[in-house]
Amino acid sequence: MGINEKLQEIIDSQADVVKKVVALVGESIEELKARAKVEKKSLEEVVEEIIKTVTPKKKEGAMGMPLLGDKFPTLEVQTTHGPMKLPDDLKGKWTVLFSHPADFTPVCTTEFVSFQKHKEQFDAINTQLIGLSIDQVFSHIKWVEWIKEKFDVDIEFPIIAATDTLAAQIGMVHPNKGTNTVRAVFIIDPEGVVRTILYYPQEIGRNIDEIVRAVKALQKSDAEGVATPANWPENELIGDKVIIPPATDCETAKKRTQEYECFDWWFCYKESK
């Protein structure tokens, strides 16, 4: 079997690619040297080309979820409130962008009703809500009408009609869940930066109070340069107080216990403003 056939075998199997390339190089070193001479390249360059050939490339629209601290990717989307451009249309406000597996499903319906019933709380903290699933916009519209008819709840926030590719680009499609989007939540700050990511399986509905709390905690941290404890503002140790970032030098560490309430110099806290 010649080198081309062996390369094709590797490409077809995609199993243990590096090991097979190493074996191929060992078996075909003379053939590779001859190829390098003809192409006027070094042996290393020829081997590198082979490795690139047999290494699988990331498919278009594969999982590409933005990470914490990343700018939310630029997307042009169709919503129940008309076209939007993200994150440009989000600038100046906090955003909770959340995906749901599908319209006309029971858990998602309970979530949408709850998000709407919490909307005044989100409005009070300058936060907009945006839903998303891989459903056409007319499906979203009909579902919103159905929720109004059955529960007398008006869904006032936009819902994005996503394509498979769009949802996959921001990590909202789980490879083991078919084409349904998972229950992902992105909390995005007024500059379009992703600050929190929450993931839930299809079978568990989200706790909307926790999402409100997370936005408030981020805003508190940004405004005061502090951290918030577990279950803030109802922490078991310090209540609604906030944590001072730990000292990073000996001089500051010595002063900490005199300036703040502390369990130790590395665990100090204060009243929130």
pTM listed for this prediction: 0.74
CB 185 within 8 A of CB 98: yes
Cis peptide before 66 (omega within 30 of 0): no
Q: Say if residue 230 is exposed, middle or buried (CB neighbours under 10 Å; 0-12, 13-18, 19+).
A: exposed
Question: What whole-number distance in Å separates Cα of residue 179 and Cα of residue 172?
Answer: 10
pLDDT in tens, 146-189: 999 999 999 999 999 988 778 777 777 766 655 667 889 999 99
pLDDT in tens, 30-80: 777 887 788 778 877 777 777 666 554 444 334 467 889 999 988 899 999
User: Tell me, what's the pLDDT at 66?
Assistant: 85
Q: Which tokens sit at 130?
A: 């945006």
Does pLDDT of 210 surpass 60?
Answer: yes
CATH topology of domain 225-270: Antioxidant, Horf6; Chain A, domain 2 (3.30.1020)
pLDDT in tens, 95-148: 999 999 999 999 999 999 999 999 999 999 999 999 999 899 999 999 999 999
Catalytic residue among 108, 250, 262, 268: 108
The 3 state secondary structure assigned to the chain is CCHHHHHHHHHHHCCCHHHHHHHHHHHCHHHHHHHHHHHCCCHHHHHHHHHHHHCCCCCCCCCCCCCCCCECCCEEEEECCEEEEECHHHCCCEEEEEECCCCCCHHHHHHHHHHHHCHHHHHHCCEEEEEEECCCHHHHHHHHHHHHHHHCCCCCCCEEECCHHHHHHCCCECCCCCCCECEEEEEECCCCEEEEEEEECCCCCCCHHHHHHHHHHHHHHHHHCCECCCCCCCECCCECCEEECCCCCHHHHHHHHHHCEEEECCEEEECCC
Which CATH number is 75-206 given?
3.40.30.10
Indicate the domain borders of the chain: 3-54, 75-206, 225-270
Q: Is 108 annotated in the active site?
A: yes
